[in-house]
Amino acid sequence: MALVSRIEIIKKAKQPVLAIKKTINVENLPIVIGESYEKIQDYLNEIREYSGDIPYVKYLNMDM
């Protein structure tokens, strides 16, 4: 099998996190992700901050 990606551990400095926690169904995930990213970006603009890294999603329910 061809190597698809290289996984490595990179140590980074601590940084603040802005999070939204919701309980949703997996079917609604794409919509909620878009809405949440928009809310986070609006808030960052309001407080004149910028995102220091890419956003991520942590989905905990594996009952799909």
On average, the pLDDT of the chain sits at 88
pTM: 0.68
Q: How many CB atoms lie within 10 A of CB 54?
A: 5
Residue 20 counted as domain residue: yes
Which structural domain range is residue 44 located in? Answer: 7-64
For the record, the structure tokens of 64 come out as: 């799909």
For residue 27, the SS3 value is helix
Q: What mean pLDDT is predicted for residues 25-30?
A: 90
Confidence of residue 32 (pLDDT cuts 50, 70, 90): very high
Q: What domain count does the chain have? A: 1
Domain assignment of residue 21, yes or no: yes
Tell the residue number behind the tokens 């942590």, with chain if given: 58
What amino acid occupies position 3? L
User: Rounded to an integer, what distance in angstroms lies between the CA atom of residue 59 and that of residue 21?
Assistant: 10
- Answer yes or no: is pLDDT of 64 > 70: no
Asked, for residue 1, whether it belongs to a domain, the answer is no
CB atoms within 10 A of CB 15: 7
Q: Is residue 54 part of a domain?
A: yes
On whether residue 64 sits in a domain, the answer given is yes
Q: Flag whether 2 is in a domain.
A: no
